[in-house]
Amino acid sequence: MTVLDETPGDTTSATDSGTASDATVETAEPTDSRGRVAELHAIRAQALRGPSDKATEAQHAKGKLTARERIELLLDPGSFREVEQLRRHRATGFGLEAKKPHTDGVITGWGTVEGRTVFVYAHDFRIFGGALGEAHATKIHKIMDMAIAAGAPLVSLNDGAGARIQEGVSALAGYGGIFQRNTKASGVIPQISVMLGPCAGGAAYSPALTDFVFMVRDTSQMFITGPDVVKAVTGEEITQNGLGGADVHAETSGVCHFAYDDEETCIAEVRYLLSLLPSNNRENPPTVSCEDPAERRSDVLLDLVPADGNRPYDMAKVIEELVDDGEYLEVHERWARNIICALARLDGQVVGIVANQPQTLAGVLDIEASEKAARFVQMCDAFNIPIVTLLDVPGFLPGVDQEHGGIIRHGAKLLYAYCNATVPRISLILRKAYGGAYIVMDSQSIGADLTYAWPTNEIAVMGAEGAANVIFRRQIAAAADPEAMRARMVKEYKAELMHPYYAAERGLVDDVIDPAETREVLIRSLAMLRTKHADLPSRKHGNPPQ
């Protein structure tokens, strides 16, 4: 969480940064209004230009954009309004009094994305390496407070080397103020962290507190302790990207929701995500006109999903058939791939989709899948996004590692998230729905508003083979031909307890539907549920499993 005294931002000379305003005034102090205005424009031009051309070139040489270039990509053209552009630090010692550039290494303000207000702060790595000092932190605190008060999303463009060690504990306290505001804003306004450079030490906790984290390969890293410390303590040798690069956090740790090859694509996807989110928790997500007919049949689904529960298929293709124009944004695409979490639209209305993925681990729930889906369900519920759950789940993943890793409490996170959600909730059982996993995946018994099933559904405590082995083990063992007896008992169990209409006959499924009509059924059901209102018990907050 420290920054070296010599950083690309520190290459700026005292003339370039520390006395920028003085350098623009070559004559006596102006005495009339026109002179004052000219002085103001000169100071602003210096602040907009940045510390030096050399520092800008160094930033571009790393394949990175400057903070202002990033803001221009994020916001609608000409909409950015900067706050505290002329702010300077007041620290002294270690040469800081000679380096007092405007902005103090962070650009803050607001603008619009597709016409809607969005607040933003962007670290300027050219100034003090983007390191956080007292004035720098105060600027961030102010823009966060403004975003919360205005009820508008907050996007942070992170490219900073940590705390400014020359300012000591004052810099550290600045992080505390950011964390406190991240927590205050959680579930109130969307918070998006875009990692475009290094983020080490305590600074990494701010992105972890936000709703979504974007990263760019090769140029952004996040870790609590860097490679040098890791080597000193454990003897392990690893690169910065190997320890905390975009691919590591997108595939292994789950810290990163989206990873891209370049900043332009990354920021464009941030804009797309914002188009799917409401401005705050008191609003609904934006609605768009839809030319994809609500009553469109999807006969391809009849062949896409095999009736044989042991045959895999790609659930992503099912989602493409159901949603508007086949478009959706998958969250955590490369982490816990046995479950899919995605934002999409049905008839122009935003929905959150949670779906088992039979192509990976047969779609079972495990520790990572439970955590991934639980956080996604909580996000949808916080921001008034209806949830559609697509089930094809054979159960929880068995194994010593899973049990010792806490599958009970991690699985309970998903259960808690669904039970606590008050947004419209629809579940659809495509094939298997076995055991506790069936209950956890938004079954009617835990509060799903509507539950549908395809004629290929199998809802049971466990698979027919396992159930027959338990129930009829004596008959099978005593039979002259145990295998033939087992096959007969499996068939009998399926016919008696696992036929497609068993749950519907008992009111546990609202309807068994033609797969080709699924899109229309979901859209009509969501339209009915749009005015749903549900209250939770009066309490300070729940105590969810950790």
HSE (side-chain half, CA atoms, 13 Å) at 303:
2
What is the distance between the alpha carbons of residues 160 and 128, in angstroms, rounded to a whole number? Answer: 9
Q: Where are the beta strands (DSSP E) in 202-304?
A: 212-216, 221-223, 258-260
Side by side, the strands of the sheet bearing 81-83 are 81-83, 106-113, 116-123, 154-158, 191-195, 212-216, 258-260
Q: Which residues contact 211 (CB under 8 A, 6 or more apart)?
A: 186, 190, 191, 192, 379
Told to judge if 201 belongs to the known catalytic residues of this protein, a careful annotator would answer yes
Do 365 and 396 contact (CB within 8 A), yes or no?
A: yes
Cα torsion angle, 90, 93, 98, 103, sign: negative
Catalytic residue among 436, 479, 487, 516: 436
Do 451 and 510 contact (CB within 8 A), yes or no?
A: yes
* C-alpha Rg value of the chain to the nearest Å: 28
Told to judge if 42 belongs to the known catalytic residues of this protein, a careful annotator would answer no
Told to judge if 437 belongs to the known catalytic residues of this protein, a careful annotator would answer yes
Do 412 and 545 contact (CB within 8 A), yes or no?
A: yes
Residue 393 bridge partners (DSSP): 433
Catalytic residue among 201, 226, 363, 395: 201
Told to judge if 202 belongs to the known catalytic residues of this protein, a careful annotator would answer yes
Task: Indicate the angle between helix axes 315-322 and 518-529, nearest 10 degrees.
Answer: 60
Catalytic residue among 202, 254, 405, 466: 202
Catalytic residue among 200, 336, 362, 437: 437
Active site amino acids: 201-202, 436-437
